[in-house]
């Protein structure tokens, strides 16, 4: 094999001692950033469910997690490493322990990026800045605790797999390829996004042969090519198997093509990786799915109009930094390509071309910040290398000073971004913090393996989620209580648990800022004491939380707005006789938004379509008859489909970017009998 134009890590002068100082600086920057992040708890309630599920597994159940034919999510290593190892070492009821594990996970990630960068560029300054910038990138601290068991481990495995594959090109090909393959398979059991990694290997190999070998002699890389094709086959088999298994259980998670989702994901992901709009999406709310699915001149006109208008997740400091990152990356790439040798051009081409590879799945189906982490890391490597090259033309010392300043700036802006956006996202919850910090827990005589259901509306849950997990589930005195979060109606199994005394249902009303025990109220509202009337009250203090499922905004004093195009309600079991449904609903109409349509259906059968115009009187409720042949066994599904929901931010001086349909205050169902 021809000797490459760069040395392997083991051949570099100075040994491993050169890494001590930059790694200490990385740890310092991470500690400063995440100490601030940890001031705002953001834990997901899935932890409670996953913990109880894993804690009761025997060895056979543990192995069954790795069955690729198991429907649903396939992330067994992430779940098991989290709950069987981490929880056992630090204790499940130890918030500080989980924060330490999060910091160590981010440190491991930063060190991984550091060594990958150093192995190809051979500059500790570049590697240190790339490692720090990656671990404090907004795509990472969006859900810091969540990263322990999903994204952090997956990203570390992908980075080291790429490291060993590149290393196989110049040193110990057999052992390096073996490690790259093992880490790739391991990453598949952590998160499905890694199935595109062999595509990155294809690009690395193709560019290597094209740029370095004038005779295009691919035979000298036969081991790498064969390994790449095998891994591609494994990745495709995995993707097809998971699509079939997920579809078999009625899911469509990342198994369908939705062009109305792909285009906005592509646009916002491209901004996120450069730290433009580091947290929220640009203000594209109010742009319908039809516009995204069939882009035209009107779509781009709306984008230009709303990109920076009334956007509560954007601020000038972060935007200036993002624009600077884009400029430096482009400038540095141009200079490196113009003055660099074949090695530098190969590295640049590999970096830039692998950005779209790792953006494929987040753009296709995903679209969350943390899904774009790997492309963001690549951008941070390009940024660091560009700065070292461009400012190194003045002097090495000048480049070091500028890169140090950039590292400090990134830490400060990351902290500012996080605190500012957390504050802006939770401004509506500031009055609720005291109550959310101390959710109700039965004082004593809690049955073993009891369930506590906390119903918290969406607006409060943004901030209340972490408090519920930290203050309720992690309390030692509720060690045996399973915490669920619900934003809609309960399942039949949940209802039976509550009625049997094994479960407790609490509702938080963000208007009155109080908790309510709905356990007894739930039974009375469903049984209705033999009454032929079901009354669903959407006002503050009402019982709509027992019936609402999807598509609803937060609780307001007199009712609740529907969100987006569809809102659903679960109605109780009916007798099979004709029933009467009455709905008190008020459209979102203004001179700037003068018309809406409401289509009401039950169990897939249309009950009527209603047109609303600005200026009409909407005081009277809608009265609808439900024919007996529309009624099904069990719960009835009522669907409100809204055409042309409105956005307050698009019609006036408001920062409210919700897509509002109808303001519902009450629904009644009169029938012969209600079976509980």
- On whether both 395 and 441 belong to a single domain, the answer is no
Distance between start and end Cα atoms, the chain: 76
Q: How many domains does the chain have?
A: 3
Same domain? For 463 and 394 the reply is: no
Residue 112: inside a domain, yes or no? yes
| Parent domain of 452 | 430-517
Residues 561 and 675 placed together within one structural domain of the fold:
yes
Q: What percent of the chain has pLDDT over 90?
A: 29
Report which of residues 376 and 262 the model is more confident about.
376
Domain co-membership, 414 together with 437: no
Does one domain contain both 163 and 218? yes
- Quick check: 529 pLDDT over 50? no
**Which residues sit opposite 643 in a β-bridge?**
597
pLDDT in tens, 169-208: 887 889 999 999 999 999 998 888 898 999 999 999 888 8
Same structural domain for residues 476 and 512?
Answer: yes
Average of per-residue pLDDT across 622-646: 89
pLDDT at 114: 96
**pTM over 0.85, yes/no:** no
Q: Is residue 602 part of a domain?
A: yes
Domain shared by 414 and 454, yes or no: no
pLDDT of residue 446: 67
334 versus 69: the higher-pLDDT residue is 334
Decide if 5 is inside a domain: no
- List, as one string, the DSSP characters of 155-173: HHHHHHHHHHHHHTTTS-H
- Lowest mean per-residue pLDDT among 20-29, 292-301, 366-375, 561-570: 292-301
Domain termination site, one of 472, 488, 517: 517
Q: Which H/E stretch holds residue 302?
A: helix 297-306
Please indicate, yes or no, if residue 655 is contained in any of the structural domains: yes
Q: Please check whether residues 57 and 119 belong to one and the same domain.
A: yes
As a whole number of angstroms, the distance between CA 548 and CA 538 comes to 9
Residue 566 has pLDDT above 60, yes or no: yes
pLDDT of res. 434: 65
The CATH number linked to 603 is 2.60.120.260
Separation between Cα atoms, residue 81 and residue 296, nearest integer Å: 47
398 pLDDT more than 70? yes
Q: What is the pLDDT of residue 124?
A: 92
Alpha-carbon distance values, 281 to 134, 278, 587 (Å)? 20, 8, 27
Q: For residue 421, give the nearest of 381, 369, 373 by alpha carbon.
A: 369
Kindly state the average pLDDT of the residues 534-553: 84
Which H or E element spans position 562? strand 560-563
For residues 209 and 339, is the Cβ–Cβ distance under 8 A? no
Q: Which of 92-106, 264-278, 331-345 has the lowest mean pLDDT?
A: 92-106
487 and 415 inside one domain: no
Give the residue from 376, 400, 425 where a domain finishes. 425
pLDDT band per the 50, 70, 90 thresholds, residue 211: confident
Boundary of a domain, candidates 483, 517, 551: 517
Q: For 347-380, how does the pLDDT look when each residue is reduced to its tens digit (9 = 90+)? A: 999 999 999 999 988 888 777 788 899 999 999 9
Q: What are the tens digits of pLDDT across the range 41-78?
A: 555 445 555 555 555 567 777 777 788 777 767 788 87
208 and 258 both lie in a single domain: yes
Q: Is residue 214 part of a domain?
A: yes
Give me the mean pLDDT over the 453-459 stretch. 61
* pLDDT of amino acid 204: 92
Distance of alpha carbon 411 from alpha carbon 409, whole angstroms: 5
Please give the mean pLDDT across all residues of the chain. 78
Contact 660, 642 (CB under 8 A): no
**How far is the C-alpha of 206 from the C-alpha of 350, rounded, in Å?**
10
Asked whether the beta carbons of 380 and 137 are under 8 A apart, the reply is: yes
Residue 2 lies inside a defined structural domain of this protein: no
Q: Are residues 238 and 127 in the same domain?
A: yes
Q: Is 33 exposed, middle or buried (0-12, 13-18, 19+ CB in 10 A)?
A: buried
Alpha helices in 340-443 (DSSP H): 342-364, 373-392, 396-425, 433-437
Same domain, 486 and 559: no
Specify which of 238-242, 419-423, 530-534 reaches the highest per-range mean pLDDT: 238-242
> Which of 144-148, 266-270, 357-361, 613-617 has the least mean pLDDT?
144-148
Flag whether 522 is in a domain: no
């Amino acid at each position: 094999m021809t000797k490459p134009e760069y040395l392997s890590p083991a051949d570099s002068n100075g040994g491993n001692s050169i890494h001590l100082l930059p790694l200490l600086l990385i740890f310092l920057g991470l500690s400063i950033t995440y100490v601030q992040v940890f001031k705002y708890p953001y834990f997901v309630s899935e932890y409670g469910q996953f913990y109880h599920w894993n804690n009761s597994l025997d060895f056979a159940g543990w192995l069954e997690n790795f069955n690729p034919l198991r429907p649903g999510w396939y992330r067994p290593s992430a779940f098991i490493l989290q709950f069987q190892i981490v929880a056992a070492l630090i204790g499940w009821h130890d918030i500080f322990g989980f924060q330490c594990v999060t910091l160590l996970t981010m440190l491991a990630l930063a060190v991984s990026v550091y060594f990958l960068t150093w192995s190809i560029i051979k500059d500790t300054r570049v590697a240190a800045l790339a490692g720090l910038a990656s671990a404090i990138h907004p795509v990472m601290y969006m859900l810091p605790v969540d990263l322990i068991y999903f994204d952090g481990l997956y990203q570390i495995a992908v980075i080291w797999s790429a490291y060993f594959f590149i290393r196989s090109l110049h040193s110990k090909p057999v052992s390096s390829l073996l490690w790259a393959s093992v880490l790739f398979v391991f990453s598949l059991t952590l998160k499905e996004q890694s199935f595109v990694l062999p595509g990155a290997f294809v690009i690395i190999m193709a560019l290597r042969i094209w740029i370095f070998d004038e005779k295009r002699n691919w035979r000298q890389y036969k081991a790498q090519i064969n390994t790449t094709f095998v891994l591609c086959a494994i990745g495709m088999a995995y993707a097809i198997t998971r699509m079939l298994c997920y579809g078999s259980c009625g899911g469509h998670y990342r198994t369908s093509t939705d062009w109305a989702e792909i285009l906005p994901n592509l646009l916002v992901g491209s901004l996120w990786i450069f730290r433009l709009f580091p947290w929220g999406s640009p203000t594209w709310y109010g742009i319908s799915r039809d516009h995204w699915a069939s882009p035209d001149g009107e779509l781009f006109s709306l984008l230009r109009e709303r990109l920076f208008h009334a956007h509560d997740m954007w601020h000038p400091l972060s935007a200036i930094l993002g624009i600077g990152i884009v400029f430096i990356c482009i400038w540095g790439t141009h200079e490196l390509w113009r003055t660099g040798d074949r090695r530098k051009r190969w590295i640049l081409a590999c970096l830039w071309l692998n950005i779209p590879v790792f953006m494929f799945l987040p753009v296709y189906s995903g679209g969350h910040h943390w899904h774009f982490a790997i492309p963001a890391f690549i951008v941070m490597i390009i940024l660091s290398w560009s700065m070292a090259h461009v400012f190194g033309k003045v002097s090495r010392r000048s480049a070091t000073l500028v890169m140090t300043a950039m590292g400090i700036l990134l830490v400060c802006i990351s902290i500012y971004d996080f605190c500012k956006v957390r504050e802006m996202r939770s401004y509506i919850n500031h009055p609720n913090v005291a109550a959310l910090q101390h959710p109700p827990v039965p004082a004593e005589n809690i049955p073993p393996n009891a369930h506590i259901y906390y119903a918290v509306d969406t607006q409060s849950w943004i901030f209340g989620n972490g408090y519920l997990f930290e203050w309720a589930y992690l309390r030692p005195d509720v060690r045996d209580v399973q915490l669920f979060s619900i934003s809609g109606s309960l399942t039949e199994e949940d209802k039976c648990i509550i009625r049997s005394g094994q479960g407790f249902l609490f509702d938080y009303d963000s208007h009155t800022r109080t908790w309510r025990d709905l356990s007894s109220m739930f039974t009375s509202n469903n049984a209705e004491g033999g009454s032929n009337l079901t009354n669903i009250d959407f006002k503050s203090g009402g019982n709509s939380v027992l019936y609402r499922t999807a598509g609803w905004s937060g609780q307001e004093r007199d009712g609740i707005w529907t969100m987006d195009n569809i809102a659903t309600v679960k109605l109780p079991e009916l007798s099979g006789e004709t029933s009467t449904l009455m709905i008190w609903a008020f459209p979102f109409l203004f001179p700037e938004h003068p018309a809406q349509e409401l289509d009401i259906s039950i169990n897939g059968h249309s009950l009527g379509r209603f047109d609303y115009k600005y200026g009409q009187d909407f005081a009277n409720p809608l009265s609808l008859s439900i024919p007996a042949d529309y009624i099904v066994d069990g719960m009835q599904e009522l669907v409100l489909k809204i055409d042309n929901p409105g956005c307050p931010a698009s019609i006036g001086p408001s920062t409210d970017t919700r897509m509002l349909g109808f303001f519902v205050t009450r629904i009644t169902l009169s029938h012969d009998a209600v079976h509980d």
